[in-house]
Structure 1
């Protein structure tokens, strides 16, 4: 699954490149759209008592993005557990296919109050095509 992101002036730092923390937001958008493509709404899951905080992220910055670049965030399932799942994500510059960022992100399913719970059946079945 891929999500496109355009780089605006507000995304850049004093050096004219994308500020490193902004990539976390791009990755979040990619994860949300990854779920949406599988028929899942983050809002509806939250309303049903399933919240998915990031509990681990490993990120490598390989090359910078700059003003007006068009990026693609690729997301794929790596691992599906009983209460968590791990995704592999990449941020790629569309113009030349340069991989700018790679990340491995683990999310855990919690109910309000932040107590871990099993992944909902609809999420598990949405991932049936597997890693």
Structure 2
């Protein structure tokens, strides 16, 4: 995905999720807890898509910490629906990455939820933030500077 505009925001990655029965609640719609998992899946797939062989964020040395998230629930989603989770980049800091996400029901295009989040790269040994590798930072900055196709 090279980038699309939705609601004035630029999204550079897309994750597709089919709602499983276990992700619904007593009201027969997707539980709010499931959205946290959907956003995490989208974030990790997005980061994996940018990682080069020179940086293994899933090693014993590093961890990604979700430092902040804000979710707005706009419409219900249901069992068996296919959802598209779009990911965009707000900014990158020395060790942080600010992202935004949008969940849209695939068949009808219904806006389901959105989220803003901040993740931080942590050095497991020191338990302090760790600077993003230059290769990762360059890929993110290139996405921030690209024109929407």
Pairwise same-fold verdict (TM > 0.5): yes
Equivalence for 1:15 = 27
Deviation, 1:48, is: 6.5
Alignment pair present for 1:4 and 2:16: yes
**1:68-93 alpha-carbon deviations (Å, 9 max, x no partner):** 10000100111111110100101110
**TM, length-normalised to structure 1:** 0.91
Alignment pair present for 1:127 and 2:140: yes
Alignment pair present for 1:118 and 2:131: yes
- Detail structure 1 runs of 4+ shifted over 4 Å in the superposition: none
Equivalence for 1:84 = 96
Alignment pair present for 1:47 and 2:62: no
**TM, length-normalised to structure 2:** 0.80
For the structure 1 residues 97 and 111, does the alpha-carbon distance in structure 2 shift closer, same or farther, using more than 3 Å as the test? Answer: same
Deviation, 1:8, is: 1.3
User: Aligned-residue CA RMSD in angstroms?
Assistant: 1.8
Equivalence for 1:38 = 50
Match for residue 41 of structure 2 among 24, 29, 43:
29
In structure 2, runs of 5+ residues without a counterpart are: 1-12, 145-149
> How many residues in Structure 1 have an aligned counterpart in Structure 2?
130
**1:61-118 alpha-carbon deviations (Å, 9 max, x no partner):** 0001001100001001111111101001011100111111110010011110531121
